[in-house]
Every structure is written in C-alpha cells, then in structure tokens.
Amino acid sequence: MEIIVDEFPDREIMVNGEKYLYFGGTSYLGMATNKEFQEIIYESLKKWGTFYGSSRNANVKLAIYNKFENFFSDFLGAENALTVSSGTLAGKMVVDYLAKSKVAFFHYPKTHPAILAPNSLPLFINDKLHPKLQDAIFEEIVITVDAILPLETTQTSFDFLNEISSQKKITLVLDESHSLGVIGKLGEGIFSKIKSDKLHRKIMIASLGKALGLSGGIIASDKEFIDNIRAEPVFVSSSGANPAYLEAYINGLQLYEKQRELLIKNLNFLAKILVPKQAFQFNKAYPVIYSNSDDIYKALLIKKMIIARFKYPTYKNYMNRIVITANHTKSDLEKLAGVLNSIDI
C-alpha cells in the first residue's frame, strides 16, 4: 500500500482525509516538526541564506563549517570531522578513497549499501570469521559495519576484532546514521567506545538527517585521513552541507537534550506496558520495534496506525519498522501496545 502525503508526517498522518497515528520515518527526536527548532532554523536561514552552492575549498569560506566540525569532532571523540551534503555521499567518498589503495574489503552482514565496496567479502562465512582474516599473510584490510544493523535493536558487537590475525592492518568504517543522536550518554553514538589494539584507523560516517533532523552528512576520523578526504576531487567540486542547518544545531543544543529526555521517557513507558513476543524485537534503549511479520503491519493499519514497511536492499523479506519518537504521547504508545499485546502472532 503506497501512501502519498502532502505534509511532513509527525506522530499523526492524514491519509485520504482520515487521521492515522504514524510510527515510521527516522525523526527519532522529533526535530523535523519541532516548532522551537523551526524558529532556530528560520533565524539561521536569515543569516546564512537557504543554501551556499560553492566549493568548501574556494577562497571565501564560511566560519560555521569549522565551528560545527570542531564541535562535532569533540562530541564524537574524534580527532577531526568533515561535513558533506549527505550521509550516502559521506559513505561513498570514504569507500572510494580507501579503494584507491591495495586493500581487501570485508563487510559485516547486512551492511548499508553506502559503505559496501563492490568487491567486498563477507566478514563471516557460516557464522565463522572469514578464513582470510585469520591467516598469517600481511595485508591492509577495511571492515565496513553499521553501528546498529537494520532489524536489530542493540549495537553491533566488535568482539570479532579479537579473532583477526595480528598480521592484518585494520581500518574500521562505521556507519552511525541510526545511532547518532540516540545512542550514548549524550547521543554521541558508539565511535569513541570502540577500542582495540588491532585497529589501525577508525572512520565514522553518518547522515545528519535522522535523529538530528539536519540536511547533510559527516565523516570523522584522525586528522590525516580527514585532510586527505578534504583534498579529494569529489569534495573539492561539491557544495557543502547547508550552513544554516549546521548553525541551527549549535544553537539548538539544549532543545536536542530536551527531546532526548522525552524520547527516553517514551521508551521506558512503552517497555513497561508492552508484552515481549518472538514476532518482534524491542529494546528500550533504542526507538525502533522490528518485525518480519506482515500480520503486525495489517493489524496496526486496521486500527489506524501506520508503520514503515519496505523492501530493504540487504534483506529477503519486507521490513516492518515501528518507530517511536520524542513527539509520541502516552496515549499513542498505549494504543500501539494494545494492538501488539492482543494480536495472536
């Protein structure tokens, strides 16, 4: 069932003149429709304009880029950071740059296509580490992985790093699009928490358009790597991220924290009233309920609740994705739990 709407879907959505509760999208903190945040963006737009279509390497440079990137690198626990126009571009730029060297790519199961190299090998074969990762041949390798995989509600474990041969020089590329703003004490994600003597380099990429509600993407790593990306032809010839949105983030930090607190309260409340079932996955530390069951989608639709349902590129079946945001009310969550608790699945 394809649903066309005429305005941004928040906690409610209008379909053919009828009101439905909406549990989809990726606006986990509810920033996209937050009136206070929209006012902050409006003030930033008056200062920076609607968009700045110029190379970041041009002689005239906007101060907000350095201000945002310096703040964000500290926030993430990285040496340096660089913004680009989208999360997908961030992933492609990093993978394309690394592919210029003689490296072997390996990917965690169901890794997002944005960081999936064309000739990448699976990290695991039959649930065991790829044998090439345990041989004594020295080589540089790149491992690409999502911080939280689609259809998962807990962060990825990196224990597999301990099993990799010491002869491998490892670069880890981490996609934090769905963890940034949500996971961590302040929403900083998991980049800084991944520590291993086996790692030569860590690189984080993310869309800013999920929980943060911003237009753009970000790359974070050590200074040498970021400087190299900054010199890449694709970066030099591209327009930057929208400067107004970057300043809005800086000026809206207290609002982001307020929305995170609301989201945490919603998840704790839902955890108390939702009956666990094998048909879906829920973890109160993450604002998504995942299920492969189309019965759940149909049952919610009958009760005038719409969730996200689509064919994900790295999955065989349709994904049913129930998203909890900071903007949902207790009444919304009670209605959701009522259906999930009562349905025979």
Q: What pLDDT is stored for residue 279 in this prediction?
A: 87
Residues 262 and 12: their CA atoms lie apart, in Å, by 17
Q: What is the CATH number of the domain that holds 74?
A: 3.40.640.10
Cα–Cα distance measured from residue 92 to residue 124, given in angstroms and rounded to the nearest whole number:
23
The backbone torsions φ and ψ at residue 103, rounded to the nearest 5 degrees and listed phi first, read -125, 155
- The count of other CB atoms within 10 Å of the CB of residue 244 is 23
Q: Tokens 């996209």 appear where?
A: 32
Question: What is the model's pLDDT at position 188?
Answer: 97
Angle at 260 between CA 257 and CA 264, to 5 degrees: 140
Kindly write down the DSSP assignment for every residue of 278-290, as one continuous string: TTSEEETTEEEEE
Shared domain for 260 and 312, answered yes or no, is yes
Do 185 and 83 share a structural domain?
yes
- Intra-chain end-to-end CA distance of the chain, in Å: 22
For residue 23, what are the domain limits?
12-36+254-342
Residues 195, 305 within the same domain:
no
Domain assignment present for 42: no
Mark whether 172 and 262 lie in a shared domain. no
The C-alpha atoms of residue 242 and residue 65 are separated, in whole angstroms, by 9
**Same domain assignment for residues 277 and 324:** yes
Pair 312, 172 in one domain: no
Residue 236 belongs to a domain: yes
Judging by DSSP bridges, how do beta strands 168-175 and 139-146 pair with one another? Answer: parallel
The per-residue pLDDT for 126 is 93
H-helix or E-strand spanning residue 89: helix 87-98
Residues 161 and 227 both lie in one domain: yes
DSSP state of 59: S
- Which runs of consecutive H residues, i.e. helices, occur in the chain? 35-48, 63-76, 87-98, 223-230, 233-236, 243-251, 253-273, 294-302, 330-342
CATH code, domain carrying 16 = 3.90.1150.10
In a shared domain, residues 205 and 309: no
CA angle 205, 148, 34 (to 5 degrees): 75
Residue 69 lies in a domain: yes
pLDDT at site 285:
94
pLDDT of res. 313: 62
Domain final residue, candidates 206, 241, 276: 241
- Cα–Cα distances in Å, from 266 out to 13, 66, 97, 285, 334? 19, 35, 41, 11, 11
Instruction: Say what the pLDDT of residue 67 is.
Output: 98
Confidence (pTM)? 0.94
- Pair (153, 201) in one structural domain: yes
Which neighbouring-strand residues pair with 289? 322
pLDDT at 153: 84
- pLDDT value for 44: 97
Report the number of distinct structural domains present in the chain: 2
Residues 57, 30 share a domain:
no
- Predicted confidence pLDDT, tens digits, the chain (345 residues): 678 888 889 999 998 889 999 999 999 999 999 999 999 999 999 999 999 999 898 899 999 999 999 999 999 999 999 999 999 999 999 999 999 999 999 999 988 889 999 999 999 999 999 999 999 999 999 999 999 976 678 899 999 999 999 999 999 999 999 999 999 999 999 999 999 999 999 999 999 999 999 999 999 999 999 999 999 999 999 999 999 999 999 999 999 999 999 999 999 999 999 999 988 999 999 999 998 888 999 999 999 999 998 766 655 677 789 999 999 999 999 999 999 999 876
Kindly state whether residues 18 and 108 are assigned to the same domain.
no
User: How far is it, in rounded angstroms, from Cα 180 to Cα 76?
Assistant: 9
| Position 1 in a domain | no
Residue ending a domain, choose from 241, 262, 282: 241
Please give the pLDDT value at position 1: 65
For residue 292, give the DSSP letter.
Answer: -
In a domain, 246, yes or no: no
Shared domain for 161 and 302, answered yes or no, is no
Predicted local confidence at residue 315, as pLDDT: 59
Contact assessment for residue 305 and residue 336, using Cβ atoms and an 8 Å cutoff: yes
Establish if 247 belongs to a structural domain.
no
In a domain, 107, yes or no: yes
Asked whether residue 260 is assigned to any structural domain, the reply reads yes
Cβ 234 vs Cβ 212: under 8 Å: no
